[in-house]
A and B are shown apart, each in its own frame.
Chain A
Amino acid sequence: MPKFKFPDVDTLKSRMSELKQAAQKDKKPEEEAIPSTSIKCPSCENVFDKKELGMLKICPKCARYFRLNSKERIRLVADEGSFEELDSTLNAKNPLNFPDYEEKIAKMQEKTGLKDAVVTGVCTIGGEKAVLGVMDSGFMMASMGSVVGEKLTRAFEYATENKLPIIIFACSGGARMQEGIVSLMQMAKVSAAAAKHSKAGLLYITVLTDPTTGGVTASFAMLGDIIVSEPKALIGFAGRRVVEGTIKQKLPDEFQTAEFQLEHGFVDIIVTREEMPIKLRDILRIHSGRKDGAR
Protein backbone atom coordinates (compact mmCIF):
# COMPACT_ATOMS: atom_id res chain seq x y z
CA MET A 1 0.00 0.00 0.00
CA PRO A 2 1.35 3.42 -0.90
CA LYS A 3 1.83 5.68 2.08
CA PHE A 4 -0.70 8.45 2.38
CA LYS A 5 1.10 11.77 2.63
CA PHE A 6 -1.20 14.67 3.30
CA PRO A 7 -1.01 17.57 3.71
CA ASP A 8 2.41 18.54 2.53
CA VAL A 9 3.00 20.82 5.49
CA ASP A 10 6.79 20.81 5.42
CA THR A 11 7.04 21.94 1.84
CA LEU A 12 4.45 24.59 2.48
CA LYS A 13 6.29 25.83 5.54
CA SER A 14 9.64 26.00 3.86
CA ARG A 15 8.08 27.76 0.91
CA MET A 16 6.48 30.27 3.25
CA SER A 17 9.68 30.97 5.11
CA GLU A 18 11.40 31.44 1.76
CA LEU A 19 8.74 33.93 0.80
CA LYS A 20 9.04 35.73 4.12
CA GLN A 21 12.80 35.95 3.78
CA ALA A 22 12.43 37.31 0.30
CA ALA A 23 9.97 39.86 1.63
CA GLN A 24 12.44 40.86 4.35
CA LYS A 25 15.19 41.28 1.82
CA ASP A 26 12.97 43.47 -0.27
CA LYS A 27 12.25 45.76 2.60
CA LYS A 28 15.68 47.29 2.89
CA PRO A 29 16.09 49.05 -0.45
CA GLU A 30 12.47 50.11 -0.25
CA GLU A 31 13.05 51.76 3.09
CA GLU A 32 15.88 53.78 1.68
CA ALA A 33 14.22 54.66 -1.57
CA ILE A 34 10.72 55.62 -0.52
CA PRO A 35 9.48 56.94 2.78
CA SER A 36 6.98 54.66 4.46
CA THR A 37 3.47 55.25 3.23
CA SER A 38 0.45 54.61 5.32
CA ILE A 39 -2.56 53.06 3.66
CA LYS A 40 -6.06 52.43 4.82
CA CYS A 41 -7.66 49.02 4.36
CA PRO A 42 -10.96 49.52 2.53
CA SER A 43 -12.45 46.57 4.41
CA CYS A 44 -11.58 47.16 8.08
CA GLU A 45 -10.45 50.79 7.73
CA ASN A 46 -7.32 49.97 9.69
CA VAL A 47 -4.51 52.38 8.87
CA PHE A 48 -1.07 50.83 8.64
CA ASP A 49 2.26 51.09 6.88
CA LYS A 50 2.24 49.73 3.33
CA LYS A 51 5.22 47.51 4.10
CA GLU A 52 3.18 45.59 6.65
CA LEU A 53 1.21 44.12 3.73
CA GLY A 54 4.21 41.91 3.02
CA MET A 55 4.76 39.93 -0.10
CA LEU A 56 1.35 38.31 0.04
CA LYS A 57 -0.27 41.74 0.25
CA ILE A 58 -2.80 40.78 2.87
CA CYS A 59 -4.23 43.23 5.41
CA PRO A 60 -2.57 42.38 8.74
CA LYS A 61 -5.78 43.06 10.63
CA CYS A 62 -8.70 41.65 8.59
CA ALA A 63 -6.85 39.50 6.03
CA ARG A 64 -8.32 41.36 3.06
CA TYR A 65 -6.46 40.62 -0.17
CA PHE A 66 -4.91 43.59 -1.92
CA ARG A 67 -4.36 43.24 -5.66
CA LEU A 68 -1.02 41.85 -6.80
CA ASN A 69 0.63 43.11 -9.93
CA SER A 70 1.95 40.58 -12.44
CA LYS A 71 5.51 40.75 -11.13
CA GLU A 72 4.44 40.15 -7.55
CA ARG A 73 2.18 37.32 -8.64
CA ILE A 74 4.90 35.56 -10.62
CA ARG A 75 7.33 35.88 -7.72
CA LEU A 76 4.74 34.31 -5.45
CA VAL A 77 3.80 31.40 -7.69
CA ALA A 78 6.78 30.45 -9.86
CA ASP A 79 9.89 28.78 -8.48
CA GLU A 80 12.58 31.36 -7.93
CA GLY A 81 14.39 32.25 -11.13
CA SER A 82 12.38 29.78 -13.21
CA PHE A 83 10.18 32.23 -15.09
CA GLU A 84 11.14 32.88 -18.70
CA GLU A 85 9.01 35.43 -20.42
CA LEU A 86 7.52 34.85 -23.89
CA ASP A 87 6.47 37.45 -26.46
CA SER A 88 7.62 40.35 -24.35
CA THR A 89 7.84 42.86 -27.18
CA LEU A 90 4.24 43.05 -28.36
CA ASN A 91 2.90 46.58 -28.49
CA ALA A 92 -0.63 47.86 -28.94
CA LYS A 93 -1.68 49.67 -32.08
CA ASN A 94 -4.81 51.69 -32.65
CA PRO A 95 -7.21 49.69 -34.85
CA LEU A 96 -10.10 52.19 -34.57
CA ASN A 97 -7.86 55.27 -34.60
CA PHE A 98 -9.43 56.05 -31.27
CA PRO A 99 -8.46 59.54 -30.11
CA ASP A 100 -5.55 59.58 -27.62
CA TYR A 101 -5.29 55.78 -27.36
CA GLU A 102 -1.57 55.71 -28.22
CA GLU A 103 -0.88 58.38 -25.60
CA LYS A 104 -2.86 56.45 -23.02
CA ILE A 105 -0.89 53.27 -23.77
CA ALA A 106 2.42 55.14 -23.57
CA LYS A 107 1.46 56.63 -20.23
CA MET A 108 0.44 53.25 -18.82
CA GLN A 109 3.65 51.66 -20.09
CA GLU A 110 5.69 54.31 -18.34
CA LYS A 111 3.71 54.00 -15.14
CA THR A 112 3.76 50.20 -14.91
CA GLY A 113 6.91 49.20 -16.78
CA LEU A 114 4.72 46.76 -18.72
CA LYS A 115 3.98 46.68 -22.44
CA ASP A 116 0.35 45.71 -21.90
CA ALA A 117 -1.99 44.00 -19.44
CA VAL A 118 -0.67 40.42 -19.51
CA VAL A 119 2.69 38.77 -18.92
CA THR A 120 3.19 35.27 -20.33
CA GLY A 121 6.01 32.80 -20.00
CA VAL A 122 7.20 29.38 -18.95
CA CYS A 123 8.13 28.46 -15.39
CA THR A 124 8.22 25.67 -12.87
CA ILE A 125 5.98 25.49 -9.82
CA GLY A 126 7.41 23.16 -7.21
CA GLY A 127 9.48 21.69 -10.03
CA GLU A 128 6.50 21.13 -12.34
CA LYS A 129 6.82 22.83 -15.69
CA ALA A 130 3.91 24.94 -16.97
CA VAL A 131 3.08 27.85 -19.21
CA LEU A 132 1.98 30.79 -17.08
CA GLY A 133 -0.11 33.82 -18.03
CA VAL A 134 -0.69 36.59 -15.52
CA MET A 135 -2.97 39.52 -16.14
CA ASP A 136 -2.18 42.84 -14.50
CA SER A 137 -5.01 45.05 -13.28
CA GLY A 138 -2.61 47.98 -12.98
CA PHE A 139 -2.57 48.29 -16.76
CA MET A 140 -5.90 49.75 -17.90
CA MET A 141 -7.79 47.43 -15.54
CA ALA A 142 -6.35 44.46 -17.46
CA SER A 143 -8.79 45.07 -20.27
CA MET A 144 -8.37 42.70 -23.23
CA GLY A 145 -7.18 44.28 -26.45
CA SER A 146 -5.15 42.84 -29.31
CA VAL A 147 -1.94 42.43 -27.32
CA VAL A 148 -3.60 40.59 -24.43
CA GLY A 149 -5.51 38.38 -26.88
CA GLU A 150 -2.45 37.65 -29.01
CA LYS A 151 -0.13 36.89 -26.09
CA LEU A 152 -2.62 34.52 -24.49
CA THR A 153 -3.32 32.85 -27.83
CA ARG A 154 0.41 32.35 -28.37
CA ALA A 155 0.75 31.03 -24.82
CA PHE A 156 -1.90 28.40 -25.57
CA GLU A 157 -0.28 27.55 -28.88
CA TYR A 158 3.13 27.25 -27.21
CA ALA A 159 1.64 24.99 -24.54
CA THR A 160 -0.06 22.83 -27.17
CA GLU A 161 3.10 22.52 -29.24
CA ASN A 162 5.27 21.68 -26.25
CA LYS A 163 2.65 19.47 -24.59
CA LEU A 164 2.61 21.60 -21.46
CA PRO A 165 -0.13 22.49 -19.00
CA ILE A 166 -1.12 26.15 -18.87
CA ILE A 167 -2.16 28.26 -15.90
CA ILE A 168 -3.76 31.65 -16.38
CA PHE A 169 -4.25 34.09 -13.51
CA ALA A 170 -7.25 36.03 -14.77
CA CYS A 171 -8.32 39.48 -13.75
CA SER A 172 -9.94 42.02 -15.99
CA GLY A 173 -12.40 44.85 -16.22
CA GLY A 174 -13.46 43.32 -19.55
CA ALA A 175 -13.00 44.49 -23.10
CA ARG A 176 -10.49 47.13 -24.20
CA MET A 177 -13.12 49.65 -25.30
CA GLN A 178 -10.64 51.68 -27.33
CA GLU A 179 -10.14 48.69 -29.64
CA GLY A 180 -13.87 48.15 -30.10
CA ILE A 181 -14.88 45.13 -32.17
CA VAL A 182 -11.24 44.00 -32.46
CA SER A 183 -11.27 43.56 -28.70
CA LEU A 184 -14.46 41.47 -28.94
CA MET A 185 -12.83 39.18 -31.49
CA GLN A 186 -10.02 38.40 -29.03
CA MET A 187 -12.57 36.42 -26.98
CA ALA A 188 -13.17 34.06 -29.90
CA LYS A 189 -9.47 33.93 -30.77
CA VAL A 190 -8.23 32.94 -27.30
CA SER A 191 -11.13 30.49 -26.81
CA ALA A 192 -10.33 28.75 -30.09
CA ALA A 193 -6.70 28.37 -29.01
CA ALA A 194 -7.90 27.00 -25.66
CA ALA A 195 -10.07 24.51 -27.57
CA LYS A 196 -7.03 23.17 -29.48
CA HIS A 197 -5.03 22.85 -26.27
CA SER A 198 -7.93 20.98 -24.68
CA LYS A 199 -8.35 18.68 -27.66
CA ALA A 200 -4.69 17.72 -27.30
CA GLY A 201 -5.59 16.34 -23.87
CA LEU A 202 -3.62 18.97 -21.99
CA LEU A 203 -4.43 20.60 -18.67
CA TYR A 204 -5.67 24.18 -18.39
CA ILE A 205 -6.07 25.78 -14.97
CA THR A 206 -7.60 29.22 -14.53
CA VAL A 207 -7.11 31.13 -11.33
CA LEU A 208 -9.70 33.86 -10.98
CA THR A 209 -8.53 36.89 -9.05
CA ASP A 210 -10.14 40.18 -8.15
CA PRO A 211 -11.80 41.34 -10.40
CA THR A 212 -12.61 38.94 -13.25
CA THR A 213 -15.47 40.37 -15.28
CA GLY A 214 -16.95 40.98 -18.73
CA GLY A 215 -15.42 39.50 -21.83
CA VAL A 216 -12.66 37.70 -19.95
CA THR A 217 -15.22 35.89 -17.78
CA ALA A 218 -17.22 35.17 -20.95
CA SER A 219 -14.23 33.53 -22.62
CA PHE A 220 -11.02 31.87 -21.42
CA ALA A 221 -11.46 32.54 -17.68
CA MET A 222 -14.45 30.18 -17.51
CA LEU A 223 -12.89 27.53 -19.75
CA GLY A 224 -10.33 25.94 -17.43
CA ASP A 225 -10.48 22.20 -16.80
CA ILE A 226 -10.05 23.33 -13.24
CA ILE A 227 -11.24 26.75 -12.12
CA VAL A 228 -9.54 28.02 -8.98
CA SER A 229 -10.32 31.31 -7.30
CA GLU A 230 -8.80 33.50 -4.64
CA PRO A 231 -11.12 34.12 -1.69
CA LYS A 232 -13.60 36.96 -2.03
CA ALA A 233 -12.55 37.85 -5.58
CA LEU A 234 -15.22 39.60 -7.65
CA ILE A 235 -16.19 37.29 -10.51
CA GLY A 236 -19.04 37.92 -12.92
CA PHE A 237 -20.11 38.72 -16.44
CA ALA A 238 -22.27 41.85 -16.18
CA GLY A 239 -21.09 44.69 -13.97
CA ARG A 240 -22.73 44.98 -10.58
CA ARG A 241 -24.19 48.41 -11.34
CA VAL A 242 -25.58 47.17 -14.65
CA VAL A 243 -27.36 44.30 -12.89
CA GLU A 244 -28.63 46.68 -10.20
CA GLY A 245 -29.92 48.89 -12.99
CA THR A 246 -31.78 45.90 -14.48
CA ILE A 247 -33.49 44.88 -11.25
CA LYS A 248 -33.78 48.41 -9.83
CA GLN A 249 -32.53 47.39 -6.41
CA LYS A 250 -29.33 46.95 -4.44
CA LEU A 251 -27.55 43.61 -4.57
CA PRO A 252 -26.22 41.82 -1.50
CA ASP A 253 -22.48 42.11 -0.80
CA GLU A 254 -21.80 38.47 -1.58
CA PHE A 255 -23.22 38.75 -5.13
CA GLN A 256 -20.57 37.74 -7.71
CA THR A 257 -17.94 36.85 -5.12
CA ALA A 258 -15.74 33.77 -5.44
CA GLU A 259 -17.87 32.17 -2.72
CA PHE A 260 -21.04 32.97 -4.70
CA GLN A 261 -19.52 31.36 -7.79
CA LEU A 262 -18.48 28.29 -5.79
CA GLU A 263 -22.01 28.01 -4.38
CA HIS A 264 -23.51 28.22 -7.88
CA GLY A 265 -21.15 25.66 -9.33
CA PHE A 266 -18.82 27.81 -11.43
CA VAL A 267 -15.63 27.53 -9.38
CA ASP A 268 -13.97 24.23 -8.44
CA ILE A 269 -12.01 25.38 -5.43
CA ILE A 270 -11.09 28.51 -3.50
CA VAL A 271 -7.42 28.62 -2.59
CA THR A 272 -5.72 31.17 -0.35
CA ARG A 273 -2.71 33.10 -1.50
CA GLU A 274 -0.38 31.26 0.91
CA GLU A 275 -1.50 27.87 -0.34
CA MET A 276 -1.65 28.74 -4.04
CA PRO A 277 1.82 27.53 -5.20
CA ILE A 278 1.52 24.25 -3.31
CA LYS A 279 -2.00 23.59 -4.50
CA LEU A 280 -1.07 24.35 -8.12
CA ARG A 281 1.97 22.10 -7.83
CA ASP A 282 -0.18 19.29 -6.45
CA ILE A 283 -2.73 19.65 -9.25
CA LEU A 284 0.04 19.71 -11.86
CA ARG A 285 1.58 16.57 -10.32
CA ILE A 286 -1.62 14.58 -10.28
CA HIS A 287 -2.00 15.35 -13.99
CA SER A 288 1.59 14.43 -14.80
CA GLY A 289 1.06 11.15 -12.97
CA ARG A 290 4.37 11.55 -11.12
CA LYS A 291 3.36 11.54 -7.49
CA ASP A 292 6.76 12.54 -6.20
CA GLY A 293 7.35 15.16 -8.84
CA ALA A 294 9.42 15.56 -11.94
CA ARG A 295 12.74 13.66 -12.31
Chain B
Amino acid sequence: MAGAFDNVKIARKVTRPTALDYINHIFDGFTEFHGDRLFGDDKAVVGGIAWLEHRAVTVLGIQKGKTMEENIKRNFGSPNPEGYRKALRLMKQAEKFGRPIINFINTSGAYPGVGAEERGQGEAIARNLLEMAELKVPSISIIIGEGGSGGALAMAVTDRVWMLENSIYAILSPEGFASILWKDASRAKEAADVMKLTANDLLKLGVVEKVIKEARGGCQNDFGFTANLLKSKLVIEIDTLCAMPIEKLLEERYARFRAFGEFSE
Protein backbone atom coordinates (compact mmCIF):
# COMPACT_ATOMS: atom_id res chain seq x y z
CA MET B 1 0.00 0.00 0.00
CA ALA B 2 1.26 3.44 -0.88
CA GLY B 3 1.95 5.72 2.09
CA ALA B 4 0.60 9.22 2.65
CA PHE B 5 4.00 10.64 1.81
CA ASP B 6 3.49 9.59 -1.84
CA ASN B 7 0.57 12.04 -1.91
CA VAL B 8 2.81 14.69 -0.40
CA LYS B 9 5.32 14.17 -3.21
CA ILE B 10 2.66 14.33 -5.92
CA ALA B 11 1.02 17.38 -4.34
CA ARG B 12 4.35 19.21 -4.45
CA LYS B 13 5.36 18.27 -8.00
CA VAL B 14 6.47 21.36 -9.99
CA THR B 15 4.58 19.98 -12.98
CA ARG B 16 1.32 19.85 -11.02
CA PRO B 17 -1.35 22.07 -12.59
CA THR B 18 -1.68 25.43 -10.85
CA ALA B 19 -4.64 27.61 -9.88
CA LEU B 20 -4.44 29.57 -13.13
CA ASP B 21 -4.43 26.33 -15.13
CA TYR B 22 -7.80 25.42 -13.59
CA ILE B 23 -9.15 28.95 -13.78
CA ASN B 24 -8.37 29.26 -17.48
CA HIS B 25 -9.72 25.81 -18.27
CA ILE B 26 -12.93 25.87 -16.25
CA PHE B 27 -14.11 29.49 -16.65
CA ASP B 28 -14.74 31.78 -19.61
CA GLY B 29 -13.53 35.35 -19.85
CA PHE B 30 -11.45 35.46 -16.68
CA THR B 31 -10.40 39.04 -15.98
CA GLU B 32 -7.75 39.36 -13.32
CA PHE B 33 -7.85 42.21 -10.81
CA HIS B 34 -4.95 43.37 -8.71
CA GLY B 35 -4.06 44.85 -5.37
CA ASP B 36 -5.37 45.05 -1.84
CA ARG B 37 -5.87 48.88 -1.92
CA LEU B 38 -3.70 49.11 1.17
CA PHE B 39 -0.14 48.15 0.39
CA GLY B 40 0.46 46.33 -2.87
CA ASP B 41 -0.31 43.49 -5.22
CA ASP B 42 0.72 40.05 -4.02
CA LYS B 43 1.36 37.85 -7.03
CA ALA B 44 1.07 34.70 -4.94
CA VAL B 45 -2.68 35.34 -4.98
CA VAL B 46 -4.65 35.76 -8.20
CA GLY B 47 -8.27 36.78 -8.43
CA GLY B 48 -10.91 38.28 -10.62
CA ILE B 49 -14.26 37.78 -12.31
CA ALA B 50 -15.31 35.16 -14.85
CA TRP B 51 -18.15 33.07 -16.22
CA LEU B 52 -18.88 29.58 -14.98
CA GLU B 53 -21.00 28.55 -17.94
CA HIS B 54 -23.74 31.20 -17.76
CA ARG B 55 -23.17 32.35 -14.22
CA ALA B 56 -21.02 35.33 -13.21
CA VAL B 57 -18.58 34.32 -10.46
CA THR B 58 -15.59 35.59 -8.53
CA VAL B 59 -12.56 33.33 -8.75
CA LEU B 60 -9.48 33.33 -6.55
CA GLY B 61 -6.38 31.21 -6.37
CA ILE B 62 -3.10 30.83 -4.56
CA GLN B 63 -0.65 30.60 -7.41
CA LYS B 64 2.59 28.66 -7.56
CA GLY B 65 5.03 28.94 -10.46
CA LYS B 66 6.30 26.15 -12.67
CA THR B 67 9.71 27.65 -13.41
CA MET B 68 12.22 29.23 -11.05
CA GLU B 69 11.57 32.63 -12.60
CA GLU B 70 7.83 32.29 -12.20
CA ASN B 71 8.21 30.97 -8.68
CA ILE B 72 10.27 33.97 -7.66
CA LYS B 73 7.52 36.22 -9.00
CA ARG B 74 4.85 34.16 -7.19
CA ASN B 75 6.93 33.79 -4.03
CA PHE B 76 6.56 29.99 -4.45
CA GLY B 77 2.87 30.35 -3.73
CA SER B 78 3.35 31.69 -0.19
CA PRO B 79 1.14 34.76 0.25
CA ASN B 80 2.02 37.86 2.21
CA PRO B 81 -0.71 39.68 4.18
CA GLU B 82 -1.58 41.80 1.14
CA GLY B 83 -2.41 38.59 -0.73
CA TYR B 84 -5.01 37.62 1.86
CA ARG B 85 -6.28 41.20 1.95
CA LYS B 86 -6.63 41.25 -1.84
CA ALA B 87 -8.56 37.98 -1.60
CA LEU B 88 -10.84 39.47 1.04
CA ARG B 89 -11.39 42.64 -0.99
CA LEU B 90 -12.46 40.60 -3.99
CA MET B 91 -14.67 38.35 -1.89
CA LYS B 92 -16.43 41.39 -0.38
CA GLN B 93 -16.85 42.69 -3.91
CA ALA B 94 -18.42 39.36 -4.87
CA GLU B 95 -20.78 39.69 -1.92
CA LYS B 96 -21.81 43.19 -3.01
CA PHE B 97 -22.67 42.03 -6.51
CA GLY B 98 -24.13 38.69 -5.50
CA ARG B 99 -21.54 36.51 -7.20
CA PRO B 100 -20.63 33.07 -5.81
CA ILE B 101 -16.96 32.60 -4.93
CA ILE B 102 -14.66 29.78 -6.02
CA ASN B 103 -11.18 29.51 -4.48
CA PHE B 104 -8.33 27.33 -5.71
CA ILE B 105 -5.84 26.64 -2.95
CA ASN B 106 -2.25 25.57 -3.39
CA THR B 107 0.27 26.81 -0.84
CA SER B 108 2.87 25.36 1.48
CA GLY B 109 1.80 28.11 3.88
CA ALA B 110 1.60 31.83 4.53
CA TYR B 111 5.00 33.47 4.00
CA PRO B 112 7.08 33.65 7.22
CA GLY B 113 9.05 36.80 6.34
CA VAL B 114 9.96 39.97 8.21
CA GLY B 115 7.71 42.16 6.07
CA ALA B 116 4.84 39.71 6.46
CA GLU B 117 5.13 39.97 10.24
CA GLU B 118 5.43 43.77 10.12
CA ARG B 119 2.28 44.01 8.02
CA GLY B 120 0.31 41.63 10.23
CA GLN B 121 0.23 38.17 8.66
CA GLY B 122 -1.69 36.89 11.69
CA GLU B 123 -4.25 39.70 11.50
CA ALA B 124 -4.73 39.22 7.75
CA ILE B 125 -5.48 35.51 8.13
CA ALA B 126 -7.67 36.08 11.18
CA ARG B 127 -9.70 38.76 9.40
CA ASN B 128 -10.42 36.41 6.50
CA LEU B 129 -11.62 33.67 8.86
CA LEU B 130 -14.04 36.06 10.52
CA GLU B 131 -15.30 37.76 7.37
CA MET B 132 -15.63 34.60 5.28
CA ALA B 133 -17.82 33.02 7.96
CA GLU B 134 -20.41 35.71 7.26
CA LEU B 135 -20.19 36.38 3.50
CA LYS B 136 -23.69 36.46 2.08
CA VAL B 137 -22.85 34.56 -1.09
CA PRO B 138 -22.17 30.86 -1.69
CA SER B 139 -18.56 29.74 -1.74
CA ILE B 140 -16.54 26.65 -2.63
CA SER B 141 -12.83 26.08 -2.14
CA ILE B 142 -10.81 23.36 -3.79
CA ILE B 143 -7.40 22.29 -2.53
CA ILE B 144 -5.56 21.47 -5.73
CA GLY B 145 -2.06 20.80 -4.35
CA GLU B 146 -0.80 21.75 -0.92
CA GLY B 147 -3.18 23.06 1.72
CA GLY B 148 -0.65 24.49 4.13
CA SER B 149 -2.13 25.35 7.51
CA GLY B 150 -3.55 28.81 8.32
CA GLY B 151 -2.24 30.08 5.00
CA ALA B 152 -4.69 27.74 3.24
CA LEU B 153 -7.52 28.02 5.76
CA ALA B 154 -7.52 31.80 5.22
CA MET B 155 -9.22 31.13 1.88
CA ALA B 156 -11.09 27.97 2.81
CA VAL B 157 -13.82 29.05 5.23
CA THR B 158 -16.38 28.22 2.56
CA ASP B 159 -19.69 26.38 2.25
CA ARG B 160 -17.95 23.45 0.59
CA VAL B 161 -14.33 22.38 0.74
CA TRP B 162 -13.13 19.89 -1.84
CA MET B 163 -9.80 18.28 -2.56
CA LEU B 164 -8.15 16.76 -5.55
CA GLU B 165 -7.31 13.13 -4.93
CA ASN B 166 -3.57 13.66 -4.45
CA SER B 167 -3.66 16.99 -2.71
CA ILE B 168 -2.90 17.39 0.98
CA TYR B 169 -4.27 19.62 3.77
CA ALA B 170 -2.54 19.85 7.13
CA ILE B 171 -1.61 21.89 10.16
CA LEU B 172 2.06 21.84 9.15
CA SER B 173 4.38 20.15 6.67
CA PRO B 174 5.20 16.56 7.66
CA GLU B 175 8.84 17.65 7.98
CA GLY B 176 7.89 20.42 10.40
CA PHE B 177 5.52 18.13 12.29
CA ALA B 178 8.24 15.50 12.75
CA SER B 179 10.80 18.04 13.85
CA ILE B 180 8.45 19.63 16.41
CA LEU B 181 7.04 16.45 17.88
CA TRP B 182 9.93 14.04 17.48
CA LYS B 183 12.82 16.52 17.05
CA ASP B 184 13.67 14.67 13.85
CA ALA B 185 12.66 16.08 10.45
CA SER B 186 13.80 12.92 8.70
CA ARG B 187 10.77 11.10 10.12
CA ALA B 188 8.52 13.07 7.73
CA LYS B 189 7.23 9.91 6.07
CA GLU B 190 6.04 8.51 9.38
CA ALA B 191 4.55 11.91 10.26
CA ALA B 192 2.59 12.00 7.00
CA ASP B 193 0.99 8.68 7.92
CA VAL B 194 -0.04 9.89 11.37
CA MET B 195 -1.26 13.35 10.33
CA LYS B 196 -4.33 12.34 8.27
CA LEU B 197 -3.45 14.79 5.54
CA THR B 198 -4.64 12.92 2.46
CA ALA B 199 -7.87 13.74 0.67
CA ASN B 200 -9.45 10.41 1.60
CA ASP B 201 -8.48 10.70 5.27
CA LEU B 202 -9.91 14.21 5.39
CA LEU B 203 -13.11 13.07 3.69
CA LYS B 204 -13.55 10.52 6.47
CA LEU B 205 -12.91 13.19 9.11
CA GLY B 206 -15.51 15.43 7.46
CA VAL B 207 -12.99 18.20 6.81
CA VAL B 208 -13.85 18.04 3.11
CA GLU B 209 -17.08 17.07 1.32
CA LYS B 210 -15.75 15.77 -1.93
CA VAL B 211 -12.63 14.23 -3.46
CA ILE B 212 -12.00 14.80 -7.17
CA LYS B 213 -10.35 11.92 -9.05
CA GLU B 214 -6.97 12.30 -10.69
CA ALA B 215 -5.23 10.29 -13.37
CA ARG B 216 -2.81 7.60 -12.23
CA GLY B 217 0.33 9.20 -10.82
CA GLY B 218 -1.30 12.63 -10.53
CA CYS B 219 -3.42 15.07 -12.52
CA GLN B 220 -0.43 16.36 -14.51
CA ASN B 221 -0.71 13.10 -16.46
CA ASP B 222 -4.22 13.94 -17.68
CA PHE B 223 -5.12 17.49 -16.79
CA GLY B 224 -8.23 17.57 -18.98
CA PHE B 225 -9.75 14.63 -17.13
CA THR B 226 -9.51 16.22 -13.68
CA ALA B 227 -10.33 19.76 -14.84
CA ASN B 228 -13.44 18.65 -16.76
CA LEU B 229 -14.62 16.49 -13.89
CA LEU B 230 -14.11 19.36 -11.47
CA LYS B 231 -15.96 21.75 -13.76
CA SER B 232 -19.00 19.52 -14.04
CA LYS B 233 -19.17 19.14 -10.27
CA LEU B 234 -18.69 22.86 -9.69
CA VAL B 235 -21.53 23.76 -12.06
CA ILE B 236 -23.94 21.46 -10.22
CA GLU B 237 -22.85 22.47 -6.72
CA ILE B 238 -22.86 26.21 -7.38
CA ASP B 239 -26.40 25.83 -8.78
CA THR B 240 -27.44 23.98 -5.64
CA LEU B 241 -25.89 26.54 -3.30
CA CYS B 242 -27.30 29.49 -5.24
CA ALA B 243 -30.78 28.00 -4.87
CA MET B 244 -30.52 28.01 -1.07
CA PRO B 245 -31.94 30.89 1.01
CA ILE B 246 -29.00 32.93 2.26
CA GLU B 247 -29.98 32.55 5.95
CA LYS B 248 -29.92 28.78 5.63
CA LEU B 249 -26.61 28.91 3.81
CA LEU B 250 -25.04 30.96 6.62
CA GLU B 251 -26.52 28.71 9.29
CA GLU B 252 -25.11 25.64 7.60
CA ARG B 253 -21.73 27.27 7.10
CA TYR B 254 -21.58 28.08 10.81
CA ALA B 255 -22.63 24.56 11.71
CA ARG B 256 -20.06 23.10 9.32
CA PHE B 257 -17.14 24.67 11.18
CA ARG B 258 -18.83 24.58 14.59
CA ALA B 259 -18.85 20.78 14.47
CA PHE B 260 -15.08 20.29 14.38
CA GLY B 261 -13.47 18.98 17.53
CA GLU B 262 -13.32 15.81 19.59
CA PHE B 263 -13.75 15.92 23.34
CA SER B 264 -15.64 14.30 26.17
CA GLU B 265 -17.71 16.04 28.81
Contact = CB atoms under 8 A, between A and B. Distances in A.
B117 interface: yes
B149 interface: yes
A219 B126 contact: yes
Nearest to B150: A218
B123 interface: yes
B182 to A, nearest CB: 10
A95 B205 contact: yes
B113 A192 contact: no
Contacts of A189: 257-258, 260-261
Consensus secondary structure, chain A interface: helix
B140 to A, nearest CB: 15
Interface string A176-212: 0111111111111101111110110000000000000
B112 A246 contact: yes
Consensus secondary structure, chain B interface: helix
Contacts of B188: none
Interface residues of A, number: 61
Given A191-B126, A195-B130, A182 B262 contact: yes
A46 interface: no
A244 to B, nearest CB: 9
Nearest to B110: A237
Interface string B152-172: 011001000000000001111
A93 B129 contact: no
Interface stretch (A71-79, A127-135, A142-150, A269-277): A142-150
Nearest to A242: B112
Contacts of A92: 262-263
A217 B126 contact: yes
Given A90-B265, A247-B114, A183 B126 contact: no
Give 7 closest A-B pairs by Cβ, nearest first: A238-B112, A217-B122, A146-B261, A185-B260, A237-B122, A191-B129, A192-B133
Interface of A: 89-96, 98-99, 146-147, 149-150, 153, 175, 177-189, 191-196, 198-199, 214-215, 217-223, 236-239, 242-243, 245-247, 251, 255-256, 264-266
Given A94-B262, A247-B113, A265-B120, 13 more contacts: A91-B265, A99-B194, A153-B258, A182-B261, A185-B207, A185-B260, A191-B126, A191-B157, A195-B131, A220-B126, A223-B127, A245-B112, A266-B123
Interface of B: 110-114, 116-123, 125-127, 129-131, 133-134, 149-150, 153-154, 157, 169-172, 177, 180-181, 194-197, 202, 205, 207, 253-254, 257-258, 260-265
18 contacts: A90-B263, A91-B264, A181-B197, A182-B261, A184-B170, A187-B153, A188-B260, A191-B126, A194-B130, A218-B150, A218-B154, A222-B120, A223-B127, A237-B110, A239-B112, A247-B113, A255-B117, A256-B117
